[in-house]
């Protein structure tokens, strides 16, 4: 498994996805991220290069990885040095965001910038977990 590709794809899926445009697929995301990365680097970056960064067989350049991280407002080390404890912790936070989205809790990029959840996002997660737990308790009591 290509850890960096997995993380680039996770960033694109979670922080690049927009709840108001659910039809934005990977190709659209790659095109948009290529445009933004081009602006950050001052040199052309193609959607194919972004797709390569997301692919298991990809080997993107460090400057592209750094630009992707900056675009999503996460520490560039998340992609450049993914084995540090701090970056593993960041990955766990993104996994929480992924799980929340899977459960239908709409936490978008606005709730997770710079590798931290907003207070509103944490309160929503806590409330949702409590509601789920009380629902499970009610089922057990029957």
Q: Is 55 helix (H, G, I), strand (E, B) or coil?
A: coil
Check whether 6 has a pLDDT greater than 60: yes
Q: Is 136 helix (H, G, I), strand (E, B) or coil?
A: helix
Q: What is the pLDDT of residue 59?
A: 87
Provide the domain limits for residue 64: 3-141
How many CB atoms are closer than 10 A to CB 8?
27
Range 121-131 average pLDDT: 78
Tally the domains of the chain. Answer: 1
Check whether 31 has a pLDDT greater than 90: yes
Check whether 40 has a pLDDT greater than 90: yes
Is pLDDT larger for residue 62 or for residue 19?
Answer: 62
How many CB atoms are closer than 10 A to CB 65?
21
């Amino acid at each position: 498994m290509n850890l960096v590709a997995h993380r680039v794809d996770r960033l694109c899926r979670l922080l690049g996805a927009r709840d108001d445009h659910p039809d934005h697929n990977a190709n659209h995301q790659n095109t948009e991220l290529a445009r933004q990365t081009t602006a950050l680097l001052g040199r052309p970056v193609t959607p194919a290069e972004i797709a390569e960064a997301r692919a298991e067989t990809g080997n993107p350049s460090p400057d592209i990885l750094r630009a992707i991280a900056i675009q999503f407002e996460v520490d560039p080390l998340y992609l450049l040095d993914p084995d540090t404890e701090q970056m593993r912790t960041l990955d766990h936070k993104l996994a929480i965001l992924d799980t929340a989205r899977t459960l239908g809790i709409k936490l978008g990029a606005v709730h997770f910038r710079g590798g931290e959840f907003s207070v509103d996002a944490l309160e929503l997660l806590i409330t949702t977990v409590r509601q789920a737990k009380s629902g499970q308790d009610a089922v057990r009591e029957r």
